[in-house]
Structure 1
Amino acid sequence: MADQQKIHPLVNVEAPPTAPLVPRGSALSEKGTTSRSSSTQQQQQHPPLQQHAIPVMHSLNPPKKVGYGSCSCCKCIYWTISVLVLLLIIIAATVGTIYLVFQPKLPKYSVDSLRISDLRLNFDLSLYAKFDVKITANNPNKKIGIYYEKGGRLSVSYTKTKLCEGSLPKFYQGHRNITKLDVSLTGQTQYGNTLMNALQEQQQTGRIPLDLKVDAPVAIKLGKLKLRKVRILGGCLLVVDSLTTNNAISIKASNCRFKLKL
């Protein structure tokens, strides 16, 4: 009878050991449950370390793309500014050329004489005054003429109270021309009694201040070109010795200033 050989199952040495089966309710099972519970608590108390992620910065307001409409608006603004700058340069060049060619100067005025034809109180206690003023107008420009248009006014006041006024004549003054004007002024002022008393008291000092004001619309002529109307404004501060009627009045001081208003 042949020898009988026993066959043993092969064991995988590299395989991990298999945990023995433990019946439920045994002490080992309770011990394993306790062990797993404690391990879970430790993991909750000490969470596993994680790798720190590198923060990525995101722009809250991403740049907007410039569209076709924005480009058109920028070009429109650019061309508008360019045209305005060009116009300013042309105007400045034109004014500079005119100034160099014509060398404009303001006309000069002076009061030659003042005569009082009438100064009296009316029955209603208003003050009536009539003055005759002689003025010299001097145009010093070589290439500029002056048209004195209709509507020019000349007035005389005392302490900001208008005594009388009159109209300036309409005429043309040529280059380097001197023109003498005779202007008649009349006026009537309320509360003349008070004003007359003040004038009489001031006359005793021999120095009576009067304010002569001019408002003349004029048109400037450059060569053959007549420009639009402008105004000559100003006046003269006069000091006279008396206000007696039909007598020669001496002008002791005169300070005249004028300006051109466009």
Structure 2
Amino acid sequence: MHRPPPYGMSNNGRYPPYHYGGEYYPSERRRGGNVCVRCICCFCCFLFFIILVFAVLILYMFLYYDPKCPTYKFEYMDVKEFKYNPDSSINTDVILTLRANNPNKGVGLLYEEASFINVTYSDSLICSGKFPSFHHGHRNVTMLQIALKGKNQLRSGLNESLKDDERHDKIRLKLMAMVPFRLVFGNIKSRSLNMNANVTLIVRDLKPGKKSVTEEGKIAYRLSY
């Protein structure tokens, strides 16, 4: 069957304009910018989630382990040698006994090798040594013996000043230490931290063969990475 054309001739002999009967689709805008925005939003959400997980984990560990700062106290000094030499140098060989108390119920401390301890008199080095490397368990009190030795030259005039302090049974020494350690939570070890200590010791007797009682100000220490 022959179908008539969709349009006919107009009176002036021209074909009328053709009318498109289909649907009209407006051109879509480019979405490149929207993709970048979505990516940034997803990254921010992921970053926020990670921070939230870490914050919850730290809060849980803090509440569960209830961490407390360890305490340290010098008990006495055992003098093996303290000798004045004619060249104004001093031979020193002493052992400091330190009481270390870890009051934590679930946090241990692992003291590492690379430590140092220096003892000075009026900023002149007297002797030096190392902090013992060991694992300090939970709720544990350990008596540590720290060997300090040295042969060091004192500045001019300090020999007489030190002898005068010794006659008055009041020798003021300064101990400075740096001790690397790790916190131990069960089988998990933290990254290495540094404990920096600074304390003034007042020694009453430096005669060899005697355990000189010491007094000290509060041991001030700070942590660093």
Partner residue, 1:115: 78
| Cα-Cα RMSD | 2.5
User: Judging changes above 3 Å, is the alpha-carbon distance between structure 1 residues 121 and 67 closer, same or farther for their aligned structure 2 residues?
Assistant: farther
Alignment of 1:233 onto 2:196: yes
- Equivalent residue runs for 1:1-262 within 5 Å: 68-122=31-85, 124-191=87-154, 194-262=157-225
Q: Which amino acid is 1:92 matched to?
A: A
- Number of matched residues? 197
Given the two structures, how large is their TM-score scaled by the length of structure 1? 0.65
Do the aligned residues in 1 keep the contact of 2:131 with 2:179 (CA within 8 Å)?
A: yes
- Alpha-carbon deviation of 1:172? 1.8
Given the two structures, how large is their TM-score scaled by the length of structure 2? 0.75
Q: Deviations over 1:96-122 (max 9, x none)?
A: 110011111121111000133222344
Greater shift in the superposed pair: 128-137 or 94-103: 128-137
Q: Deviations over 1:24-66 (max 9, x none)?
A: xxxxxxxxxxxxxxxxxxxxxxxxxxxxxxxxxxxxxxxxxx9
Structure 1 CA distance, aligned partners of 2:40 and 2:160? 68
Structure 1 CA distance, aligned partners of 2:159 and 2:79? 14
Structure 1 CA distance, aligned partners of 2:41 and 2:62? 32
- Alpha-carbon deviation of 1:160? 2.6
Q: Deviations over 1:128-185 (max 9, x none)?
A: 2222111111111111222222223222222232211112222222211111111110
Do the aligned residues in 1 keep the contact of 2:75 with 2:213 (CA within 8 Å)?
A: no
User: Judging changes above 3 Å, is the alpha-carbon distance between structure 1 residues 253 and 105 closer, same or farther for their aligned structure 2 residues?
Assistant: same
Do the aligned residues in 2 keep the contact of 1:126 with 1:192 (CA within 8 Å)?
A: no
User: Judging changes above 3 Å, is the alpha-carbon distance between structure 1 residues 72 and 122 closer, same or farther for their aligned structure 2 residues?
Assistant: farther
Do the aligned residues in 2 keep the contact of 1:148 with 1:216 (CA within 8 Å)?
A: yes
Structure 1, gaps ≥5 residues long: 1-65
Do the aligned residues in 2 keep the contact of 1:121 with 1:192 (CA within 8 Å)?
A: no
User: Judging changes above 3 Å, is the alpha-carbon distance between structure 1 residues 138 and 242 closer, same or farther for their aligned structure 2 residues?
Assistant: same
User: Judging changes above 3 Å, is the alpha-carbon distance between structure 1 residues 207 and 122 closer, same or farther for their aligned structure 2 residues?
Assistant: closer
User: Judging changes above 3 Å, is the alpha-carbon distance between structure 1 residues 217 and 186 closer, same or farther for their aligned structure 2 residues?
Assistant: same
Structure 1 CA distance, aligned partners of 2:190 and 2:149? 33
Do the aligned residues in 2 keep the contact of 1:155 with 1:214 (CA within 8 Å)?
A: yes
The higher radius of gyration belongs to: 1
User: Judging changes above 3 Å, is the alpha-carbon distance between structure 1 residues 233 and 253 closer, same or farther for their aligned structure 2 residues?
Assistant: closer
User: Judging changes above 3 Å, is the alpha-carbon distance between structure 1 residues 252 and 180 closer, same or farther for their aligned structure 2 residues?
Assistant: closer
Do the aligned residues in 2 keep the contact of 1:116 with 1:132 (CA within 8 Å)?
A: yes
Greater shift in the superposed pair: 244-253 or 159-168: 244-253
User: Judging changes above 3 Å, is the alpha-carbon distance between structure 1 residues 126 and 82 closer, same or farther for their aligned structure 2 residues?
Assistant: same
Which structure is higher in RCO with an 8 Å CA cutoff and minimum separation 6?
2
User: Judging changes above 3 Å, is the alpha-carbon distance between structure 1 residues 123 and 67 closer, same or farther for their aligned structure 2 residues?
Assistant: farther
Larger relative strand fraction: 2
User: Judging changes above 3 Å, is the alpha-carbon distance between structure 1 residues 73 and 194 closer, same or farther for their aligned structure 2 residues?
Assistant: farther
Larger relative helix fraction: 1
